[in-house]
């Protein structure tokens, strides 16, 4: 049986523990899902960022969007280009500038992964009371706002 937590220190520890558990287990589940497609989390985030941008993106902007160094971003994009999920081109005006865009195959892969992830989330929330689901969404949004977090750095917030 769960107990009420009354003091802020214990509440903070409970929030920290539960958020850490949620993130770790969510990352594990995402990693397992992406492994089926020979895709890493960083590669997936890069592709998602490109999709959210809706057009080609400079390598530096892409690195910033998914919080990776330029060197790391180069390796990520190299592997995505090899798999034909993104394309890369050099700027005609500035040979140092490199632009990346999602290919149709990359977009289709993202759609499949998104559908599978959404289905898994639906299976989970189906086991919950609908009022609890609405409250959970609102509480997460409220917590993120109070912490000063963006709701989603890769695209629009579907809960807004």
Question: In which band, very low, low, confident or very high, does the pLDDT at 87 lie, cut at 50, 70 and 90?
Answer: very high
What DSSP state is assigned to residue 89? E
pLDDT at 153 over 90: no
We report the CATH number of the domain holding residue 93 as: 1.10.10.10
Residue 101's H or E segment, with its range, is strand 98-102
Neighbour count for residue 55 (Cβ, 10 Å):
8
- pLDDT at residue 151, rounded to an integer: 67
Digit-coded pLDDT (tens) for 103-137: 999 999 999 999 999 999 999 999 999 999 999 99
Classify residue 7: in a domain, yes or no. Answer: no
Question: In which band, very low, low, confident or very high, does the pLDDT at 155 lie, cut at 50, 70 and 90?
Answer: very low
Classify residue 58: in a domain, yes or no. Answer: yes
Task: Give the bridge partners for 117, in sequence order.
Answer: none
Question: In which band, very low, low, confident or very high, does the pLDDT at 158 lie, cut at 50, 70 and 90?
Answer: low
| DSSP per position, 20-32 | HHHHHHHHHHHHH
Classify residue 11: in a domain, yes or no. Answer: no
Classify residue 68: in a domain, yes or no. Answer: yes
In angstroms, rounded to a whole number, what is the distance separating the alpha carbons of residues 77 and 47? Answer: 9
User: What integer best gives the mean pLDDT of the chain?
Assistant: 89
Classify residue 30: in a domain, yes or no. Answer: yes
If one counts the domains in the chain, the total is 1
- Domain limits at 80? 18-147
Classify residue 29: in a domain, yes or no. Answer: yes
Classify residue 96: in a domain, yes or no. Answer: yes
Classify residue 156: in a domain, yes or no. Answer: no
The answer for residues whose C-beta is within 8 angstroms of residue 30's C-beta and 6 or more apart is: 41, 44, 117
């Amino acid at each position: 049986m769960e107990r009420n937590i009354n003091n802020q220190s214990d509440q903070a520890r409970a929030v920290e523990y539960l958020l850490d558990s949620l993130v770790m287990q969510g990352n594990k589940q995402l990693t397992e899902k992406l492994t089926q497609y020979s895709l890493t989390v960083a590669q997936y985030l890069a592709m998602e960022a490109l999709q959210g941008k809706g057009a080609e993106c400079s390598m530096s902007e892409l690195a910033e969007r998914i919080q990776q160094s330029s060197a790391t971003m180069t390796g990520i994009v190299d592997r995505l280009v090899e798999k034909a999920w993104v394309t890369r081109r050099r700027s005609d005006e500035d040979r140092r500038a490199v632009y990346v865009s999602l290919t149709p195959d990359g977009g289709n892969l993202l759609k499949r992964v998104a559908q599978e992830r959404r289905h898994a989330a639906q299976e989970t929330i189906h086991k919950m009371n609908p009022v609890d689901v609405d409250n959970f969404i609102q509480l997460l949004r409220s917590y993120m706002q109070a912490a000063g977090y963006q709701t989603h750095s890769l695209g629009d917030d579907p809960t807004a």
